[in-house]
Amino acid sequence: MKYLSSWIIRAVSSWNTEDQEAAGGGGKIQAFEKRHHKGGVSMKTARINRMVIGVVALLAFGFGWLAQPADARTLEKGQPSVQIGDFEGMKVFMGMQTVGRFQALDHEKVYVDGAEQATIPVGFQTAWGSIDFLAKYKDQIEVYFEVYLSSRPHPEKVYGHQGYILARGTPENLHAGPIASLFKAIDVKAGHFEIDYGDHRFRRSDNARVQQNVLIGNYIIDPKTVEIGVEVSTEPNRFNAMVGVGNGGTTEKFKNGTGFSLHGKVWGDVTESLRASGSFYRVDHSDNAPKFAGSWSNLFSGHRSGGPYSAVMVGGNAPGQITPGEGQKVTAAQGDLTWKVGGLEVYGHVGWMEDADLNGSAAGTPQESWYYYSGESIYQFTPNLHAAVRYSGASAKTLNDVSSDGRIDRIQVGGGFWLTKHIQLKAEYVHQWCNDFIEAEGKVGGMDAWMDPTFNGVISEVSFSF
């Protein structure tokens, strides 16, 4: 316990919250890299990386199927599971996640400013790690924080991802009066947290937190961001609603011309087997000073945790992903459906986004808008073995004020197996391709998309979580 306490203190003291979102391609990648520097690799992170890569290497050289463990899906997703303290009515939990991957991916017809990009060799990815802590006070107050030990945007740097307080009830000194009555109907989350937009965020890989994803890669357009703000939601029931206000960026900003973001969500169980949700997001930073740090929303135009694939297309922090818009004057909506019966689960979503002023306060108001969509099926053969197939796509409607018929499609086929209650193996085949873009629309994801770039191949993953 003494060693654990000293390690926690060192980790928290290293928490760097200067991070801005990782952008997804081309000039955005270059701008992101200029705004950041790399720190030293801690001995702890280095040991974790070596351990995970070693486990992946064993898998790659024929690690066999082991005896079937207990059902790992009974673990509560997204919650630290190891209790490390209990005092004065408060319980403290700790969680840790780490992941390593081996990939054989390659791309074709990928050009940047007319220059064809080199092929990609087979190899191991850098291992990523996360750690989180949760304090629960009598099931009324929860305090949570999460740090990335290592990530694609910052492979050598520990930095903060989330830190917030969630009030499900009132503390003992406020048990009477109107506030206590109010908290019987609502929950309040305040701090620095991932905003609740879409149900896909419960199914995607987030740095080393990958076991909620039935495959390895995420979605072509993958809206996700953390903001500083407040969310107020109804007490959990069959049908629920939430409204939130954020600062419109991943870190604090006190500059004229930036606006608050507004987001909301409704969700519920239509039947025992069918869940539905709808989400909305709006922010306007278009009057800000041109391109000062943090002057954009990152729900679509950035990627804080990076992507699961490496080096494909133009590389960067979210390889193969499309990060539309510039985060200036963004409006977005998304609908989700999840149906589950027996061992079969089907999920899909449809969304739309628009950035109505790509230039912000600079001259001109060029626009960009996309539709995006996905569908996936999962079959659970046993409590420990599943197979899955996912299609995700994106259709451009307007690019740099030019009407577009461009489309990007991705197919993923794979599955996973639990070696133990905390260790999971996954493998996936992926194929992504572009169609019907024209040169007048400009680059998409940093690429000359009119050349119809594509990538495909296989990728495997081993992850550990508690």
Write out the E strands in 109-151.
111-112, 115-116, 123-124, 128-137, 141-150
Token pair listed for 377? 């099926």
Percent of the chain past pLDDT 90, that is, above it, reads 64
Confidence at residue 71, expressed as pLDDT on a 0 to 100 scale: 33
Q: Give the lowest-confidence range in 29-38, 281-290, 324-333, 396-405.
A: 29-38
Cα distance between the two ends of the chain:
17
pLDDT tens digits, residue range 329-386? Answer: 999 999 999 999 999 999 999 999 999 998 887 888 899 999 999 999 999 999 999 9
Q: Tokens 């199914």 sit at which residue?
A: 203
Q: Is 400 helix (H, G, I), strand (E, B) or coil?
A: coil
Of the options 3.30.450.40, 3.40.50.970, 2.40.160.10, 1.20.1050.10, the CATH number for the domain spanning 2-465: 2.40.160.10
Confidence at residue 289, expressed as pLDDT on a 0 to 100 scale: 66
Average pLDDT of the chain is 83
Q: Is 180 helix (H, G, I), strand (E, B) or coil?
A: helix
Confidence tier at 288 by pLDDT (50, 70, 90): confident
Q: Could you state, in order of their start, the residue ranges of all structural domains in the chain?
A: 2-465
CA-wise closest residue to 328 among 401, 261, 246: 261
> CB neighbours of 173 closer than 8 A, spacing ≥ 6?
none
Confidence at residue 187, expressed as pLDDT on a 0 to 100 scale: 94
Mean pLDDT of 309-327: 92
Dist. CA 430–CA 141, nearest whole Å: 42
Neighbouring-strand partners of residue 37 = none
| Residue pair 408/432 in contact by the 8 Å Cβ criterion | yes
Confidence tier at 294 by pLDDT (50, 70, 90): low
Confidence tier at 290 by pLDDT (50, 70, 90): low
